[in-house]
């Protein structure tokens, strides 16, 4: 499993951008649950907490392709620095509004700005890998590694923010997220040697979302984002219903842990099945893995089944980003990958809102049915439109 990853980090500056990207992306697993813990603790309403978290994700979803386009046009450094600085100020304003018990609209205003200025650092790091290994089998391994990094973040982040918020101070988790975002982002911006060169845009550029295959992937990831957003919120409520609210982060870490393990395995293999085939199989496994969750009533049993459900996450993300990299012109690559992130963001916003409403209406265990339905719909859309994901004849059989 380790062999294919050897030598991946030997190039000049590679270790630096990998480390900076890791630290800067930590908030992506901390922000949602940190907001839920803070707002639900202050208002005693999961609906309000879910709505504020959804506002952040929805705002990010709208803004991410725009910031991605700016990065493609002007380079990463010139865009990261101002947006990271504004994002830090916006998150501080959100915490201040909550702490001073300001009117509820101030929470939504601050959350809107937090999302709008959030950076899609995962897209930028993957764009750097693509500039290094584009057209090489090593890019599959690099994307697999990045998915593993994402899952390490989702294993450690929720547990960290939960412990900080519940055992130290309600604001401690979001404060650490702010420091990680600002430090990692500025460190990545300072590494100019590995950032992709700005390429001339041909024919006015257009937008990657108009490419049929990318549009299909966006629809699929909308459904998967709804799974992620709802599972995050429902799992926090599930833990509280069973008297172990402090264990919510560890339950979510189990979900991400399954993805981390499968990502290491998936990236170490040389596949004969096409990218399209791998993508569709991963979606089907995801549906199967989520099915048992509505029947479980014990937190530690739930942790085991969340781990199993998470096994399909990394393969789905790895193949989705690989398909996007092959479908999108190099001059629009960051924006193209940002559209995947933005679709997940829209889905997370929908999932957080629906998860909060359903949890209050029918309880956490039954609310998991929403996550299952969202995964099933994503798999159905992917299968129905799979012909749009066929790669050009120039691609190798394992890619087509």
What fold is seen in the domain 15-197? Growth Hormone; Chain: A; (1.20.1250)
For the ranges 42-46, 173-177, 202-206, which has the lowest average pLDDT?
202-206
Rg over CA atoms, the chain: 20
Cα 214 from Cα 8, distance rounded (Å):
28
Range with the largest mean pLDDT of 138-152, 189-203, 228-242: 228-242
For the ranges 9-13, 123-127, 188-192, 287-291, which has the lowest average pLDDT?
9-13
Q: How much of the chain, in percent, has pLDDT values that exceed 90?
A: 28
Residue 11 C-alpha from the chain's centroid: 26
Which pLDDT band holds residue 7 (cuts at 50, 70, 90)? confident
DSSP 45-108: -HHHHHHHHHHHHHHHHHHHHHHHHHHHHH-HHHHHHHHHHHHHHHHHHHHHHHHTT--HHHHH
Q: Which of the pair, 29 or 114, is modelled with greater confidence? A: 114
Do the domains at 15-197 and 208-386 have one common CATH topology? yes
pLDDT, residue 393, reads 46
pLDDT, residue 83, reads 94
Cα 275 from Cα 400, distance rounded (Å):
6
Q: Where do the domains of the chain lie?
A: 15-197, 208-386
Range with the largest mean pLDDT of 139-143, 170-174, 218-222: 218-222
Average of per-residue pLDDT across 164-193 = 90
Residue 364 pLDDT more than 90?
A: no
Cα 232 from Cα 92, distance rounded (Å):
23
Residue 394 pLDDT more than 50?
A: no
Average of per-residue pLDDT across 106-127 = 91
> 208-386: which CATH architecture?
Up-down Bundle (1.20)
Residue 328 pLDDT more than 80?
A: yes
pLDDT, residue 398, reads 46
Residue 338 pLDDT more than 90?
A: no
Of 273, 314, 8, residue with least CA distance to 141: 8
CA dihedral 132, 134, 135, 141 (to 10 degrees): 80
For the ranges 6-10, 165-169, 332-336, 390-394, which has the lowest average pLDDT?
390-394
Average of per-residue pLDDT across 18-22 = 93
Q: How much of the chain, in percent, has pLDDT values that exceed 70?
A: 94
Average of per-residue pLDDT across 221-234 = 90
């Amino acid at each position: 499993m380790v062999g294919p990853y050897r030598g991946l980090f030997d190039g000049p500056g590679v270790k630096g951008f990998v480390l900076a990207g890791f630290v800067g992306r930590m908030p992506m697993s901390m922000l949602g649950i940190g907001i839920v813990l803070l707002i639900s603790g202050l208002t005693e309403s999961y609906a309000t907490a879910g709505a504020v978290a959804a506002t952040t994700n929805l705002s990010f979803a709208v803004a991410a392709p725009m910031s991605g386009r700016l990065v493609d046009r002007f380079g990463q450094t010139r865009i990261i620095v101002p947006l990271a600085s504004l994002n830090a100020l916006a998150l501080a304003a959100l915490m201040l509004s909550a702490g001073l018990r300001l009117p509820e609209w101030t929470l939504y205003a601050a959350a809107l700005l937090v999302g709008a200025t959030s950076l899609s650092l995962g897209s930028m790091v993957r764009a750097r890998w693509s500039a290094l290994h584009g057209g090489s089998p090593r890019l599959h391994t690099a994307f697999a590694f990045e998915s593993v990094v994402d899952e390490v973040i989702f294993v450690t982040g929720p547990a960290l923010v939960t412990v900080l918020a519940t055992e130290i101070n309600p604001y401690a988790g979001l404060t650490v997220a702010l420091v990680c975002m600002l430090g990692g982002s500025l460190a990545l911006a300072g590494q100019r040697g590995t950032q992709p060169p700005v390429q001339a845009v041909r024919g006015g550029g257009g937008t990657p979302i108009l490419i049929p295959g990318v549009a299909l992937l966006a629809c699929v990831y909308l459904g998967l984002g709804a799974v992620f957003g709802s599972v995050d919120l429902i799992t926090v409520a599930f833990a509280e219903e069973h008297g172990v609210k402090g264990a919510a982060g560890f339950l979510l870490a189990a979900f991400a842990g399954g993805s981390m393990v499968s990502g290491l395995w998936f990236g170490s293999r040389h596949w004969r099945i096409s990218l399209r085939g791998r993508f569709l199989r991963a979606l089907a496994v995801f549906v199967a893995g989520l099915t048992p969750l509505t029947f479980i009533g014990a937190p530690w049993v739930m942790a085991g089944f969340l781990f199993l459900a998470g096994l399909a996450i990394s393969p789905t993300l790895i193949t989705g980003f690989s398909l996007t990299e092959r479908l999108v012109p190099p001059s629009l690559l960051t924006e193209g990958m940002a559209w995947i992130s933005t679709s997940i963001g829209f889905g997370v916003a929908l999932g957080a809102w629906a998860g909060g409403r359903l949890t209050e209406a029918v309880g956490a265990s039954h609310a998991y049915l929403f996550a299952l339905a969202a995964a099933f719909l994503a798999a159905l859309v992917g299968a129905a439109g799979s012909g749009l994901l066929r790669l050009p004849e120039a691609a190798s059989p394992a890619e087509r």
